[in-house]
C-alpha cells in the first residue's frame, strides 16, 4: 500500500510531562502519524468523546485521573474497549506492570528504555486489528 495508509493512523498520547509529550509527538508526526496530546486521564476521556484514535500511548502517573483508571474506563466502554493501548511509564513496579497488562495494554514500556523512534516504529504492529481475549472474535474477522 502507499504512504497515505500511514497518514490515516491517529495516535492519542496521554502524557503530563509537556516536554516529553512534545518530543514523542514531533517524532510521530515526522513519521506521518496524526497525534493528539492529553495531559491527564480526564482530558483523554474527553478526547475519546470525539473521533477515536487508532492507538493510545498512556502514562501511568497522571494528575486528576491516573492512567490505569483511564484504561479501566476505556475497557468498560463498548465504543472504546478495542482501542490498542501501549503504556509508556517511568514506573516499572511489578504491580503496575501486571495491572496494566491485565487491563489489556499490549505492552508496558519504560520511558528511560524507550526512544521516540522505537515508539514510532511499533505503531504498525500495535495498530493491527485486535480483539481482546475476553471477547469472541466478530464474524467479519478473517485470517
Write down the domain spans for the chain: 4-126
Write out pLDDT tens, residues 57-101.
999 999 999 999 999 999 999 999 999 999 999 999 999 999 999
Helix (H) or strand (E) holding 13: strand 10-14
pLDDT over threshold 90, residue 131: no
| Superfamily classification of domain 4-126 | Response regulator (3.40.50.2300)
Mean pLDDT for the stretch of residues 34-53: 96
**How does residue 42 score in pLDDT terms, banded at 50, 70 and 90?**
very high
pLDDT attached to residue 133: 54
d(CA 108, CA 92): 9
Angle subtended by helix axes 18-30 and 116-126, to nearest 10: 60
**How does residue 130 score in pLDDT terms, banded at 50, 70 and 90?**
low
DSSP state at residue 54: S
Angle in degrees, CA 110, 111, 116, rounded to 5: 125
Mean pLDDT for the stretch of residues 102-107: 96
Helix (H) or strand (E) holding 20: helix 18-30
Amino acid at each position: 500500500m502507499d504512504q497515505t495508509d500511514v497518514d490515516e493512523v491517529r495516535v492519542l498520547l496521554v502524557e503530563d510531562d509537556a516536554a516529553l509529550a512534545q518530543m514523542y509527538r514531533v517524532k510521530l508526526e515526522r513519521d506521518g502519524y496524526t497525534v493528539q496530546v492529553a495531559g491527564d486521564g480526564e482530558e483523554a476521556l474527553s478526547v475519546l468523546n470525539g473521533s477515536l484514535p487508532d492507538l493510545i500511548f498512556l502514562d501511568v502517573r497522571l494528575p486528576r485521573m491516573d492512567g490505569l483508571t483511564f484504561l479501566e474506563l476505556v475497557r468498560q466502554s463498548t465504543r472504546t474497549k478495542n482501542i490498542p493501548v501501549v503504556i509508556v511509564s517511568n514506573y516499572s513496579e511489578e504491580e503496575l506492570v501486571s495491572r496494566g497488562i491485565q487491563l489489556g495494554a499490549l505492552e508496558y514500556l519504560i520511558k528511560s528504555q524507550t526512544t521516540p523512534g522505537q515508539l514510532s516504529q511499533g505503531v504498525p504492529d500495535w495498530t493491527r486489528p485486535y480483539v481482546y481475549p475476553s471477547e469472541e472474535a466478530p464474524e467479519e474477522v478473517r485470517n
